[in-house]
Amino acid sequence: QVQLQQWGAGLLKPSETLSLSCTIYRGSFSDYFWAWIRQPPGKGLEWIAEINHGGSTIYNPSLRSRVTISVDTSRTQFSLKLTSVTAADTAMYYCSQVALAGNSLYNYWGQGTLVTVSS
């Protein structure tokens, strides 16, 4: 079972910048896209942003002004930055990769990073 590895700071103060990164699983795939999703404690899932293999991005408008998703030029990892965090950004953050091979779709997830925003 493939699990992406993700890392980044888990405790932030209000107004700081959240930075997370996630490895990319390379295989015999024809296309890829990568996303970040978060889940506040005890609550449901919220999609944050997505980037495809060509570098095109889509953002959740509710977070757009504070979020940047990027992928490195060698396509070995992708990252999330969220500026000016508040307590409302406290959540488990997951990275996710979707990869296509023929007619099959593969989905891989990171282990999650609990980010707590507290003064």
Interface contacts to another protein, rule CB under 8 A: 3, 37, 44-47, 50, 58-62, 94, 96, 98, 101, 104-107, 109-112
- Smallest gap from residue 49 Cβ to another protein (A): 9
Q: Are the C-beta atoms of 84 and 92 separated by less than 8 Å?
A: no
- The nearest distance, CB 85 to another protein, in angstroms, is 19
Q: E strands along the chain, which residues?
A: 6-8, 11-12, 18-23, 31-39, 46-52, 57-59, 67-71, 77-82, 91-101, 104-109, 113-117
Q: How far is the CB of 13 from another protein (least distance, A)?
A: 27
Considering the complex, state which of residue 19 and residue 109 has its C-beta at the smaller distance from another protein: 109
